[in-house]
Structure 1
Amino acid sequence: MKKRGLNILVAITVVSFIGCGNSQQNTNNNGKIDTKANQSTTDKSHMIKQKITPNIWVETTDAKAVADYYLSIFKDGKLKEHHKYTNPAEAGGGNFETATIEVAGMELSILAAGPFFKFNESVSLVINCKDQAEVDYYWNALTANGGQESSCGWCKDKYGLSWQVVPVEYFDLINSKDPRVREKAMKNTLTQKKIILSQLQ
């Protein structure tokens, strides 16, 4: 238990350090960390511009695979960083990785440090979709290959992260000034897994 706690502490410390550092790629061709990159960078163009960055801890230790998975779904995304680390002996050894991707204009940090924590629905990411076709695309992509459908527009991807896939018109319906529109949208939402907008209108 003591080694596990130290292992987690090391991983969290590394993630905190990265968040306070810069966004430039600072791993060399062998995947080892170039600490000089963090020490000598002064070009503000490389600084992280997003004030708050969501960070997800996945149960694998392959951050690149996780990044590739999300980038295969969000086609306009890109990999910004990928780093490999080795825990010191006193932390029990072992390797873990981090990655930073940009999807839909948002930076998302990935910590791949093994099966210490699991996702639950208390935290989810919302995809605001422009129409039903976009809802269908993201729903199908996220629930494929080990993902899981839930209800009321919620689903999980293959890593267990919860998503809400919602057409933007949905919010107009459930917040309508017309009580009949609101009631129909809310009532029919409860019968759905994937949101079918035509059944709520």
Structure 2
Amino acid sequence: MSKVSPCLWYDGDAEEAANFYVSLLPNSRIEKVQKNVVDCPAGKAGSVLVVYFTLAGQSFIALNGGTKMDYSYAASFSIDCADQAEVDRLWDALLAGGGKEEQCGWLRDRFGVPWQIVPSAIHDYVGGPDPAGAGRAMQAMLGMVKLDIEALRRAYEGKAAA
């Protein structure tokens, strides 16, 4: 387990969420499921209290806290995607079952957790060496929901949409 691990709060569906997340990315697995040993505000004895899991090599904790809490965009999880196919796959998977799209590559999954699905290539365009191109790419990104690598490239290069 990592020295520092994000702890995600759930209202009874921590194990479902952890199993879902580990199904999405390589180098991911459930490490341990800890049950309540007594009845408590977080659940009945024998119910899942904590799930320790690894997501793409990073340790996480999913806690059934006993009440619904809302997540804030002040803390979110960013997934670096190698290509558009990975952006598309993760975008669709995280939206499945009731997720909500946001702007600029952000979404909330069905558990309410905020994610950023970001292509690695974004740094070549929004952070590229040509300030005018980077500005065009930034403007293009601000108009996107799911990020589109080819549209970012065209904007950076000053080319009209195909």
Identify the TM-score tier after normalising by the shorter chain: 0.7 to 0.9
Corresponding position: 1:54 with 2:6:
yes
Query: Compared with structure 1, are the counterparts of its residues 174 and 157 closer, same or farther at alpha carbon in structure 2 (3 Å cutoff)?
Result: same
* Aligned residue identity for 2:100: Q
Q: Distance in 1 between matches of 2:130 and 2:120?
A: 18
> Which residue is 1:71 aligned to?
22
Contact 2:29 2:55 in 1 (8 A): yes
- Equivalent pair of 1:84/1:97 in contact (CA under 8 Å): yes
Once the two structures are aligned, what percentage of the paired residues are identical? 31
TM value normalised by structure 1:
0.69
Q: SS in structure 1 opposite 2:103? A: coil
Verify: 1:120 aligned to 2:69, yes or no: no
**Please, which of 33, 43, 47 is the counterpart of residue 94 of structure 1?**
43
**Is the aligned partner of 1:153 residue 2:105?**
yes
Look up the equivalent residue of 1:161 and give its one-letter code: V
TM-score between the two structures when normalised by the length of structure 2? 0.85
After TM superposition, give the deviation of residue 106 of structure 1 in Å. Answer: 0.7
Structure 2 residue runs without a partner (length 5+): 154-162
| AA in 1 matched with 2:71 | F
- Cα offset for 1:181? 1.4
Judge conservation of contact 2:98–2:110 (CA < 8 Å) in 1: yes
Length, aligned pairs only: 150
The CA deviation at 1:69 is 1.5
TM-superposed deviation, 1:87: 5.1
Alpha-carbon shift at residue 135 of structure 1 (Å): 0.5
CA distance in 1, matches of 2:132, 2:142: 16
Map 1:156-167 to 2 at 5 A: 156-167=108-119
SS of residue matched to 2:23: helix
Distance 2:123 2:106 in 1: 15
- Secondary structure of residue in 1 paired with 2:134: helix
Q: CA deviation at 1:183?
A: 1.0
- Asked whether the equivalents of residues 63 and 110 of structure 1 are also in contact (C-alpha less than 8 Å), the reply is yes
Q: Distance in 1 between matches of 2:57 and 2:26?
A: 11
State the 4+ residue runs in structure 1 displaced beyond 6 angstroms.
none
Query: Where does structure 1 lack aligned partners over 5 or more consecutive residues?
Result: 1-47
Counterpart of 1:143 (choices 91, 95, 105) is 95
172, 183, 188: which is aligned to 2:135?
A: 183
Higher Cα Rg, which structure: 1
- Which of these residues, 122, 131, 134, is aligned with residue 170 of structure 1? 122
Distance in 2 separating the partners of 1:93 and 1:177: 51
The verdict on how the C-alpha distance between 1:92 and 1:176 changes in structure 2, with shifts beyond 3 A counting, is closer
Give the structure with the higher percent helix: 1
1:85 and 2:42 correspond: no
CA–CA separation in structure 2 for the residues paired with 1:51 and 1:107: 9
RMSD (CA atoms)? 1.8
